[in-house]
Amino acid sequence: MSRRSSRSVDRKVDDITKDRRLTRRDVYERRQRRRSAAIATTSTIVVVTAIVAAILGDNLGFFIGRRGGRWLLERYGPRLGVTTARLADFDGFFHRHGAKTVFVARFITGLRVVGAILAGASGLRWPTFLFYNATGAVVWCTAVAAAGYALANSWDTLERWIGRTGLVALVLVIIVALIARRRAITKSPTHQITK
């Protein structure tokens, strides 16, 4: 502790003790207000840092997807089951729902990691991506920080809950996508002819 801060603390303590009218409760309440102000400032710094980091990280993923993601999918995709037909479906999905997907991906555990890369590989315009990515980052970081603050000592419980919820949401998205794909296949003209 520096001399200057040490002196200011001593002055504050002296001010409190000189005023004989202050009770122990008053002193306690003053300390609590100072702590609350410090926590609020720290929380704000944490949320802003998390938002900036989330936006920058996803932009990096977007540019990786834009520069090399498409090439990698076309070259190595068939080995992973990503055929040209599936790639065309993927492109169509991102052209219809790309911006919404970027926002929602922030809240789904598995999709959060690859959503930006997929958006870049799909050819989604960067300003559109940036808007929905930033909006999702602000909402997600603020919600997680608020939940962490509210649950304070229950952070392990919150972490398990978010992880499970994200995993459940990912499974639901996959199920809905598979159902939609099956319906599209059964309604396609080529499927009608083969019957």
> Which pLDDT score, from 0 to 100, does residue 18 have?
54
User: With contact defined as beta carbons under 8 Å apart, do 165 and 78 qualify?
Assistant: no
Report the distance separating Cα 73 and Cα 21, nearest Å: 74
> Which pLDDT score, from 0 to 100, does residue 87 have?
76
Report the distance separating Cα 15 and Cα 113, nearest Å: 53
Domain assignments of the chain as residue spans, ordered by start: 50-194
- Residues contacting residue 62 through CB under 8 Å, at least 6 positions apart: 116, 117, 119, 120, 126, 129, 133
> Which pLDDT score, from 0 to 100, does residue 157 have?
67
The tens-digit pLDDT sequence of the chain (195 residues) is 555 555 555 556 555 555 556 666 766 677 766 666 555 567 788 888 889 998 999 899 899 888 887 788 788 777 777 777 877 777 777 778 778 888 888 888 777 777 888 888 888 888 989 999 999 999 998 888 887 777 766 666 666 766 777 767 777 888 888 888 888 777 766 655 554
> Which pLDDT score, from 0 to 100, does residue 3 have?
52
User: With contact defined as beta carbons under 8 Å apart, do 166 and 115 qualify?
Assistant: no
